[in-house]
Amino acid sequence: MEAEKHMVGDIVTAATILGKLIGAGLAMVGVLGGGIGIGVVSGGAVQAMGRNPDATGTIQTNMILGIAFAEATAIYALVVALLILFVF
């Protein structure tokens, strides 16, 4: 009886850890969008710089801003994953 109780507790702990890890992994799927966004932004910026090298400075500033905004959503997903792993 005692051993059985112990085993149930072990299973619950294992399921908690399993759920945490799977949840963190699923949360990180959100990074996909950020990656695509950054790729689109910097691809467009490189094309623009190739066509008009004189405007490199302005384009670069705007590119970094755009990347920062695209990255923000990915970072939200990362923060959620970190919260799941280390806080809950």
Partner 1 sequence: MTLEKSRSWRWGVNRWIILGLVILGVIGARAYPPILPHVQLPAEAVTSRLFTLPVIGDFYLSNSIVAMLIGDVVLLILALSVRSAIRSGEMVLRGIAGAIEALLEVLYQMAESTAGKWAATIFPWMATIVLLVLMANWLELIPGTDSIGLIHHAEGAAEGYPVQQVAQIGELPVLTIVKAGAEHAAEEGHFVLTPFVRVASTDLNFTIGLALISVVMSQVVGLRALGLSYFSKFLNVKTFFSRPLFGVIDFGVGLLELISETSKILSFGFRLFGNIFAGSVLLFVIGSLIPVFAQSAVLLFEFFIGLIQALIFGLLTLVFMAQATAGHAHEEATH
Establish if 61 lies at the interface with partner 1 (CB under 8 A). Answer: yes
DSSP 87: T
Site residues for partner 1, 29-58, by CB under 8 A, read: 57-58
C-alpha count within 13 angstroms, C-beta hemisphere, residue 21 = 5
Given the rule CB under 8 A, which of 4-12, 19-27, 39-47, 76-84 is the region that contacts partner 1?
76-84
DSSP 55: G
Q: What angle do CA 84, 82, 24 make, to 5 degrees?
A: 55
Establish if 66 lies at the interface with partner 1 (CB under 8 A). Answer: no
Q: Which residues bind partner 1 (CB under 8 A)?
A: 57-58, 61, 64-65, 68-69, 71-72, 75-76, 78-79, 82-83, 85-87
